[in-house]
Amino acid sequence: MSKTLFERIAAKEIPANLVYEDEHVIAFRDLHPQAPTHILIVPRKPIPRIAEATPADHAMLGHLLLKAAEVAKQAGLTHGYRLVINNGPDGGESVPHLHCHILGGRAMSWPPG
């Protein structure tokens, strides 16, 4: 099976504007931002989508969310931000590798779409 786009970015086979990385996750700026600040935080482990995560992924999922908050703070999003996880085609998923969007730098509206 071929690597996902995000696996290739994590392996540094494809360049990205990295803002954070550790042994479990990598965070980088989105190429097509939907807000003034739009960062993707991606687990290195290839999980296609949140619906396919298992109990074995419990610690990594917690790490992903805690690091998302840390990355948002480092990005200066002091007035708030939105975390988005898309699941499946109807949820807006475009890359079949679990990832969290950190969106901020402007007021967010509701409903989102």
Which residues are catalytic, by number? Answer: 99
Q: Which residues lie closer than 8 Å to 109 by C-beta, 6 or more apart? A: none
Which residues, listed in sequence order, are joined to residue 81 by a DSSP beta bridge? 104
Task: Determine the residue type at 89.
Answer: P
CA pair distance 76, 53, nearest whole angstrom: 30
SS3 6: helix
Distance CA 18, CA 26 (A): 8
SS3 (DSSP) at 82: strand
